[in-house]
Amino acid sequence: MEFRRVLVIDDEEIARISCRRVLEAKGITVALAAGGREGIEYLMRNPVDLVLVDLKMPGMDGVEVARRVRDFDPSIVAIIITGYATIESAVEVMKEGAYDYLPKPFTPDELLIVVERGLQKRRLEVESTALREEKAAMERNFVTMVTHQLRSPLSAISQYAEVLLGGMGGELNETQCDMLGRIQHRLDGLLNLINDWLDMSRIQSGEILSRLQRVSLSRCVKDAVDGFELAAGEKNIRCTVEIPPGFPDVQVDPFTFRELLNNLIANAIKYNREGGSITIRAHEKKDWAVLEVEDTGIGIEEKEIPFVFDQFYRGKAQEVRTQTGTGLGLSIVQRIVKAHGGKVEVRSRPGKGTVFSIYVNR
Ligand code: ATP
Ligand code: MG
């Protein structure tokens, strides 16, 4: 792309033609329009890099043209030719989205300087947009790459380990069993890390706000809780959901919101005591729906609270160290609520339990 297409909009024929002569001599492609409306129509059908428009015209004036150019494509540069080079008129046209102005009368050189500068701006803008898009596409590719090239083989390895452990590849002695068990444990850790990481990049892509839906909070919570039946059972943990019937729907992206719930419930089980309990409640507070996940677990020391939402932060307590984890869960939770325009709070009593509160829009 060359970025040398200029549209001149002026009701005076002489002015249009002389602009065209000056610009074409420098290899710029010029189109002419005799009025604002005609100019905008041309712009919507043809590629244009810069619009040079007269301020005073019958019908649609230069300020209005600049405003419409900006609405149509903010990277197209608008330059206004004004007969009254007063500060006020200049300020006014710039406010409406014009990039520059050119006071009348002007010399061919003055015209060229302003137009070349405008075209340069347009080129930079289009190129940086293209770079940004390319970067986003690379990030997306990277996510796909990680999913297919890393996660799939790891899951396959993990499945083979499981088959071997089950004795389906022949009988194993105790040492072999032990080693295979360790292999599988490490693989699980790695797979968790990759899954967390994939979640993060999905959230970062900033698509959450466009996927908001009204959903029933108690439905979401119950579905998530059901997924943990086994894990909770292993530790004899009872999980109760106390969301009043008729509680207003919330505005969330169901997929990532589920991810958020999974992380909070997983923590409430992992850092709970044998035979403990989890209670999930909801109440309304101003415009918010507040969801609380409360556990009767080990709690969090006050000095650790400021860090728990940091990436890769893991508690220092012995009870935490003996559990596998990467320290990404709560940072994912925080990203998800923030992407929803909400917030998360935590209060805890060491040795007694912890409550995480999620604020989302009703
Ligand atoms: P993973 O990435 O597998 O979730 P993780 O659980 O260690 O690892 P986070 O979920 O981010 O990481 O939690 C960070 C830390 O916060 C934990 O290591 C733990 O110390 C503390 N923590 C989180 N939830 C609780 C909870 N319900 N009770 C007590 N401590 C908690
Ligand atoms: Mg966690």
User: 122 and 255 in one domain?
Assistant: no
Angle at 347 between CA 343 and CA 351, to 5 degrees: 150
**Which residues lie closer than 8 Å to 359 by C-beta, 6 or more apart?**
285, 288, 289, 290, 337, 342, 343, 344, 345
- Percent of the chain as helix, strand, coil, to the nearest 5: 50, 20, 30
* 94 lies in the same domain as 33: yes
222 shares a domain with 339: yes
Query: Do 322 and 237 share a structural domain?
Result: yes
Same domain? 146 vs 38: no
Angle at CA of residue 329, ends 148 and 153, nearest 5°: 20
CA distance 273 to 298: 7
Q: How many CA atoms lie within 13 A of 293 on its CB side?
A: 28
Average pLDDT value for residue range 100-127: 93
The best mutation among 308, 333, 354 to test binding of ligand 1, ranked by most ligand atoms within 8 Å of the C-beta, falls on 308
Mean local confidence (pLDDT), 8-37: 96
> What is the 336 CA–ligand 2 centroid distance (Å)?
14
pTM: 0.60
Among the atoms of ligand 1, which is closest to the Cα of residue 331?
A: 11
Judge if 293 and 282 occupy the same domain: yes
Q: 270 CA distance to ligand 1 centroid (A)?
A: 8
* Residues 210-259 pLDDT 10s: 788 999 999 999 999 999 998 999 999 999 999 999 999 999 988 889 98
Tell me which of 72-76, 131-135, 213-217 is least confident: 131-135
Q: What is the pLDDT of residues 166-194, one digit of tens each?
A: 988 899 999 999 999 999 988 988 888 88
Half-sphere exposure of 300 (CA within 13 A, CB side): 21
- Ligand 2 centroid to 231 CA: how many Å? 14
pLDDT greater than 90 at residue 352:
yes
Please check whether residues 257 and 288 belong to one and the same domain: yes
Question: In terms of residue numbers, what domain contains 256?
Answer: 206-361
**Proximal ligand: closest to the CA of 196:** 1
Ligand 1 atom 12 nearest Cα? 327
Position 147 scores a pLDDT of: 72
Q: Containing H/E element for 221? A: helix 217-226
Query: In whole angstroms, what is the distance from residue 114 CA to residue 116 CA?
Result: 6
Is the same domain home to 120 and 223?
no
Please indicate, yes or no, whether residues 276 and 214 belong to a single structural domain of this protein. yes
| 314 neighbors 325 (Cβ within 8 angstroms) | yes
Ligand nearest to the CA of 303: 1
Q: 273 CA to middle of ligand 2, Å?
A: 15
Where residue 60 sits, what CATH number does that domain have?
3.40.50.2300
Which residues sit with their C-beta closer than 6 Å to ligand 1?
192, 196, 263, 267-268, 271, 295, 297-300, 308, 313-315, 320, 325-331, 354
Candidate from 70-84, 186-200, 261-275 with smallest mean pLDDT: 186-200
| Domain count for the chain | 3
89 with 126, same domain? Answer: yes
Q: The domain spanning residue 322 has which CATH number?
A: 3.30.565.10
Measure 320 CA to ligand 2 centroid, in angstroms: 10
For the cut 90, the answer to whether the pLDDT of residue 324 exceeds it is no
Q: Please write the tens of the pLDDT for every residue from 140-150.
A: 777 777 777 78
Q: Are residues 196 and 221 in the same domain?
A: no
Q: Are residues 325 and 345 in the same domain?
A: yes
Contact 249, 215 (CB under 8 A): yes
Top mutation candidate among 194, 263, 267 for ligand 1, by most atoms within 8 Å of CB:
267
- The answer on pLDDT for 354 being more than 80 is yes
Distance 346 CA to ligand 2 centre (A): 14
